[in-house]
């Protein structure tokens, strides 16, 4: 009876994947960065050529190493070496530095919308004040993490679920709005083929990292591949494909809903307007839905509240969890200087938290030079789209190693039995991810360009230097 209760039906896993990996913010970013409804073409290509192969590769990795904890670090260790596993774990942690730097700004923006119900109050503040406030919030949550207290940790799941519900609610209400309020003043959309096919210029290719970031993270579903009800080789891909279909539907109809509200020509009128839509588009969307239904700002305030809780709770989790994943592992922390392994009396890695303060705090302070709070949020969105997908590279590398070097590993699920096809998609997804991250670094904004290039270089260099320091420490002790 207990075994049967642990089994997961394919449609349950599909909904778990959908709610975990997808959010309204992805719809907004796609619409803003890819010229409105033109993003639909790119979404379809990204899901077909990247998301589904990625999900099926993750399924095979999870099935192959079902007793390894299901993490990318353990996959790399099982297919290569402890040293490469350290670099995979380091990358996962380092990617969260930029993520952490953005959560404080996102939380303050949501709080501003919740209390003042407009974009102007937050965006008109001098950047130096905004970033000092962001730094203060960041330091407070670092202190909370250092005391072993994570009061918002349990809210992270609730906030994530509520944001998912709000995104679905937005789509349903917006698509029904013309019937309920025919005189709402909706935008007319051009559905001609010429308008739907994007312009494949440098701006397009340097923005693709936004879409890669949006559809990545499916490795979180890997532990469930061996807990499927029925034949996992059939049930898991069915779940992943159904999840992809749901995401595609959400992306397309969410984009159409936004197209009924916003004119891409206005969004792209100038850089200041673009930054404002990138920072405030989600709030304006819920604000207008409330207007169409005669509810005022009530729906927008609920969304802002959910987003504020989500941003701050994610900040706490992101400070604590990735650091513990890196430093708790005895097989990878042997490459990390002993000082970083020090715990305080609350069981927190105090020097690791101090390193986070230095790295993420530097990004926050560097943006004091940015001329506008809205521009800060746009820059952080772009920076996250470059750094966060770097962790996906290790998933594809582990899959390539598995197919080339560990063919003897037994698994219940195969992406494909054909070795050539398997390796093609492994290399394809690796190259596509790396190319999108590197192209994403290119920017006309000098500050954005500097952040995009310097941040990954510093994090990679630090990851290389730390094992050298540990080696010297070990040599002195031997």
Q: Averaged over 322-342, what is the pLDDT?
A: 90
Q: Averaged over 86-99, what is the pLDDT?
A: 94
Q: Averaged over 338-358, what is the pLDDT?
A: 93
Q: Averaged over 200-207, what is the pLDDT?
A: 94
Rounded-to-integer distance, Cα 163 and Cα 397, Å: 32
Q: Averaged over 449-469, what is the pLDDT?
A: 95
Q: Provide the pLDDT confidence category of residue 391 given band limits of 50, 70 and 90.
A: very high
Q: Provide the pLDDT confidence category of residue 6 given band limits of 50, 70 and 90.
A: low
Whether 145 and 350 have beta carbons less than 8 Å apart is answered as: no
Among the listed ranges 59-63, 98-102, 454-458, which one has the minimum average pLDDT value? Answer: 59-63
First to last CA, the chain: 54
Q: Residue 314: its pLDDT value, please? A: 85
Which of the pair, 310 or 150, is modelled with greater confidence? 310
Asked whether residue 154 carries a pLDDT value surpassing 70, the answer given is no
Among the listed ranges 215-219, 263-267, 434-438, 458-462, which one has the minimum average pLDDT value? Answer: 215-219
pTM of the model: 0.91
Asked whether residue 307 carries a pLDDT value surpassing 80, the answer given is yes
Residues of the chain above pLDDT 90, percent: 69
Q: Provide the pLDDT confidence category of residue 4 given band limits of 50, 70 and 90.
A: very low
Q: Residue 145: its pLDDT value, please? A: 87
pLDDT single digits (tens) 8-56: 888 888 888 887 788 899 999 999 999 999 999 999 999 999 999 998 9
Whether 66 and 225 have beta carbons less than 8 Å apart is answered as: yes
Rounded-to-integer distance, Cα 438 and Cα 454, Å: 12
Asked whether residue 103 carries a pLDDT value surpassing 90, the answer given is yes
Mean pLDDT of the chain: 90
């Amino acid at each position: 009876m207990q075994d049967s209760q642990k089994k997961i039906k394919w449609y349950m896993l599909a909904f778990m994947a959908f709610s975990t990996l997808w959010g309204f913010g992805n719809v907004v970013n796609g619409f803003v960065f890819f010229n409105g409804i033109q993003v639909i073409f790119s979404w379809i290509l990204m899901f077909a050529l990247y998301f589904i192969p990625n999900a099926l590769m993750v399924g095979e990795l999870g099935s192959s190493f079902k007793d390894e904890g299901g993490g990318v670090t353990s996959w790399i260790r099982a297919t290569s070496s402890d040293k490469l596993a350290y670099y995979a774990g380091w990358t996962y942690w380092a990617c969260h530095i930029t993520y952490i730097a953005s959560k404080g700004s996102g939380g303050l923006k949501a709080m501003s919308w919740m209390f003042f119900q407009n974009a102007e109050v937050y965006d008109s503040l001098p950047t130096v004040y905004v970033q000092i406030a962001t730094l203060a919030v960041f330091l407070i949550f670092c202190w909370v993490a250092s005391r072993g207290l994570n009061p918002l940790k349990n809210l992270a799941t609730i906030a994530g679920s509520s944001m998912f519900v709000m995104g679905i609610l937005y789509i349903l209400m917006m698509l029904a709005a013309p019937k309920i309020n025919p005189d709402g003043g909706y935008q007319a959309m051009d559905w001609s083929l010429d308008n739907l096919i994007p312009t494949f210029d440098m701006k397009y290719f340097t923005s693709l990292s936004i879409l890669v970031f949006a559809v990545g993270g499916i490795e979180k579903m890997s532990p469930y591949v061996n807990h499927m009800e029925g034949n996992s080789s059939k049930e898991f891909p069915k779940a992943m494909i159904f999840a992809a279909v749901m995401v595609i539907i959400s992306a397309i109809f969410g984009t159409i809903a936004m197209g009924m509200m916003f004119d891409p020509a206005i969004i792209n009128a100038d850089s200041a307007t673009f930054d404002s839509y990138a920072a405030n588009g989600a709030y304006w969307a819920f604000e207008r839905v409330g207007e169409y239904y005669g509810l005022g700002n009530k729906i927008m305030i609920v969304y802002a509240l959910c987003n504020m809780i989500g941003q701050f709770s994610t900040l706490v989790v992101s400070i604590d969890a990735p650091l513990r994943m890196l430093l708790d592992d005895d097989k990878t922390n042997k490459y990390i200087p002993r000082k970083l392994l020090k715990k305080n009396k609350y069981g927190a890695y105090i020097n690791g938290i101090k390193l986070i303060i230095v790295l993420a705090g530097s990004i926050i302070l560097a943006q004091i030079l940015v001329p506008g709070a809205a521009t800060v949020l746009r820059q952080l969105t772009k920076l996250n789209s470059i750094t966060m997908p770097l962790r996906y590279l290790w998933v594809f590398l582990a899959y390539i190693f598995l197919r080339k070097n560990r063919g003897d590993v037994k698994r219940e699920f195969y992406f494909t039995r054909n070795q050539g096809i398997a390796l093609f998609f492994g290399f394809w997804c690796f190259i596509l991810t790396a190319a999108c991250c590197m192209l994403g670094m290119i920017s006309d904004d000098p500050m954005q360009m500097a952040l995009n290039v310097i941040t990954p270089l510093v994090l990679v260099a630090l990851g290389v230097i730390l094992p050298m320091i540990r080696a010297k420490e070990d040599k002195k002790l031997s």
